């Protein structure tokens, strides 16, 4: 797992907490991560980079070259596990 930082966005799920999962149309790891987060009750926004080229540019500008990727406020995670996301979420509170 790698982390980088970026500016804050709108909150989703918790006040001041934005969790965004970047996916692709054909991505088994993306599907597994989304399912795991949903099972843990984590609210997130999904952005498919195949359909949103600006989102793909955001990934590349943050030195992330694939999916799944997750942004929690300023923290970026590349190819995280559900546990990685939960730990990062706790640190961002």
pLDDT in tens, 38-62: 999 999 999 999 999 999 999 999 9
* Amino acid 74: pLDDT: 87
Q: What is the 3-state secondary structure (H, E, C) of the chain?
A: CEEEECCCCCCCCECCECEEEEECCCCHHHHHHHHHHHHCCCCCEEEECCCCHHHHHHHHHCCCCCCCEEEECCEEEECCCHHHHHHHHHHHC
* Amino acid 86: pLDDT: 94
pLDDT in tens, 16-45: 678 999 999 999 999 999 999 999 999 999
Supply the pTM of this predicted model.
Answer: 0.81
- Domain regions of the chain by residue span: 2-92
Superfamily of domain 2-92: Glutaredoxin (3.40.30.10)
């Amino acid at each position: 797992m790698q982390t980088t930082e970026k500016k804050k966005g709108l909150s989703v799920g918790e006040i001041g907490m934005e969790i965004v999962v970047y996916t692709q149309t054909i991505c088994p790891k993306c599907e597994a991560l989304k399912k795991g987060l949903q099972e843990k009750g984590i609210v997130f926004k999904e952005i498919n980079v195949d359909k949103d080229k600006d989102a793909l540019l955001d990934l590349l500008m943050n030195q992330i070259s694939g999916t799944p990727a997750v942004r929690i406020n300023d923290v970026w995670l590349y190819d995280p596990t559900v546990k990685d996301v939960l730990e990062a979420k706790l640190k961002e509170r």
